[in-house]
């Protein structure tokens, strides 16, 4: 079971950027290999949740398309946080 911890967007920022961080060719933004850049989309719009039993942190994001709503989740891996060099 997951419980909400917080969110990654800044309280004064009504419209976080849709710009994405550069990532390796062929790596989807939700891949475990993608960098987690907190200043870029989609991570600037994520909520942080944690597992109640093992405390592993997860990032959740709800994507609203024209005809769909997609819920995304990935583990918050500390070694992926930051912009790629
Ligand atoms: Zn767990």
Among 76, 61, 50, 49, smallest CA distance to 16 is for 61
pLDDT of 65 reads: 87
23 lies in some domain: no
44 lies in some domain: yes
Report how far ligand 1's centroid is from the alpha carbon of 74 (Å): 13
- pTM of this structure: 0.86
Report how far ligand 1's centroid is from the alpha carbon of 56 (Å): 6
Is a pLDDT exceeding 60 seen at residue 85? no
Distance CA 82, CA 55 (A): 21
Report how far ligand 1's centroid is from the alpha carbon of 39 (Å): 27
Residues spanned by the domain of 7: 2-11+31-80
51 beta partners:
2
* Domains contained in the chain, number: 1
Distance CA 26, CA 43 (A): 19
Report how far ligand 1's centroid is from the alpha carbon of 31 (Å): 20
Report how far ligand 1's centroid is from the alpha carbon of 25 (Å): 31
61 lies in some domain: yes
pLDDT in tens, 21-75: 999 999 999 999 999 999 999 999 999 999 999 999 999 999 888 999 999 999 9
């Amino acid at each position: 079971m997951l419980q909400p911890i917080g969110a990654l967007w800044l309280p004064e920022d009504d419209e976080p950027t849709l710009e994405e961080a550069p990532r390796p060719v062929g790596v989807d933004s939700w891949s475990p290999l993608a960098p987690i850049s907190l200043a870029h989309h989609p991570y600037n719009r994520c909520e942080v949740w944690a597992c109640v039993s093992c405390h592993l942190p997860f990032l959740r994001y709800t994507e609203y398309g024209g005809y769909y709503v997609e819920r995304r989740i990935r583990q918050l891996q500390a070694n992926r946080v930051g912009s790629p060099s």
